[in-house]
Amino acid sequence: MSAYLELEIVDKEGWRKRYALEKAITHVGSAPGNDIVLEEWRGAGVAPRHVQIITLPSDNRRCRLVNLGGLPVLVTGLERRAIAPRASGEVAVGESIQIGEFSFILSGSDGRASAAPVESAAVAHAPAVVAGQPVPPPSPVERLAQAPMMGRSSGVIGLELSLARSDLEPGRPIEGVVKLTNKGEKTGVQFKIELEGLGAEFYEIGPAPILFPNAERDVTLTLRHSCSPHPPAGERQILVRVTAPEAYPGEVATVSQTIRIVPYYEHAVRVEHVE
């Protein structure tokens, strides 16, 4: 039997279905013409044609995922990372993919997913080795992207932040996702989302959701460069704060991450005619 990959899909209610990725290119989305159709009634947040999954007949350990949607696709394995819109990235067996309210688990052709190991602090900063040669240490920009997120947890408010990249450049916004979960027992909870570290004119957050117990929702976040000296270029910490004042008074969840504001250059040219 030839090697192929399998994709197990889990919707927001826990429904599961396994698909064999036997084609070179598999399209996934909410539109009927896709190879794998994710119906809107099973979960939100899926574009009509959201991703391409590219496989090789001889490799049942990894695939390449092309993000055709407008939001980052989150991949969780040894580390949590995002595949930006119109970009691609490798996904290995045992890793999980988050698209809207759906989760995907990639496994080999034997149908058994190898669990992605949890990276311990002892090995988190060990140099990677490829073909017996050590990889150079990450650059300052790469270290920003790999830096762990810090924050304050809550027993009833689940909060995660994912950014497509760490460099905030003029004319190139950073797209991200704020993932909220109602971990408490209150129903119809209205959440409130706030961001600190950038002026209100330099970011946009989607509407805060109303969630029932154990429900979760992705909220879009866009960061824009000011194209001015303020805030100054360099590293800057942003903080997302989530509360639910009416349902869970006094409960606060926060998460922060460091971004790098790239310098903005503006020049003026004056031409003088000399007789």
Strand pairing class (25-29; 36-37)? parallel
Same domain, 62 and 146: no
* CA atoms within a 13 Å half-sphere pointing along the CA-CB vector of 192: 11
Which amino acid type is present at position 206? G
Contact 208/190 with Cβ under 8 angstroms? yes
What CA–CA distance (Å, rounded) separates 184 from 243?
Answer: 13
What does 111-136 look like in DSSP terms, one character per residue?
S-PPPPPPPPTTTTTSPPEETTEEPP
* CA atoms within a 13 Å half-sphere pointing along the CA-CB vector of 224: 11
Residue 265 pLDDT: 75
Q: Could you tell me the CATH number of the domain that includes residue 229?
A: 2.60.40.10
What CA–CA distance (Å, rounded) separates 182 from 253?
Answer: 11
Q: Could you tell me the CATH number of the domain that includes residue 83?
A: 2.60.200.20
Range of the domain at 11: 5-107
Is residue 256 assigned to a domain? Answer: yes
Burial of 173 from C-beta contacts in 10 A (0-12 / 13-18 / 19+)? middle
Residue 39 pLDDT: 86
Is residue 233 assigned to a domain? Answer: yes
* Structural domains of the chain, count: 2
Is residue 271 assigned to a domain? Answer: no
What CA–CA distance (Å, rounded) separates 24 from 145?
Answer: 31
Residue 132 pLDDT: 43
Is residue 67 assigned to a domain? Answer: yes
H or E element that contains 146: helix 140-146
Residue 190 pLDDT: 95
pLDDT lower than 50: segments of the chain = 1-2, 110-148
Residue 134 pLDDT: 46
Nearest C-alpha neighbor of 248 from the set 183, 195, 196: 183
Same domain, 89 and 166: no
Residue 194 pLDDT: 94
What CA–CA distance (Å, rounded) separates 212 from 77?
Answer: 28
Which amino acid type is present at position 219? V
Same domain, 163 and 99: no
Same domain, 153 and 248: yes
Residue 156 pLDDT: 93
Single out the residue in 59, 92, 107 at which a domain terminates: 107
Is residue 115 assigned to a domain? Answer: no
Single out the residue in 107, 132, 156 at which a domain terminates: 107
**Structure confidence by residue, pLDDT tens digits, 147-194:** 445 567 788 999 988 888 888 988 889 999 999 999 999 999 999 999
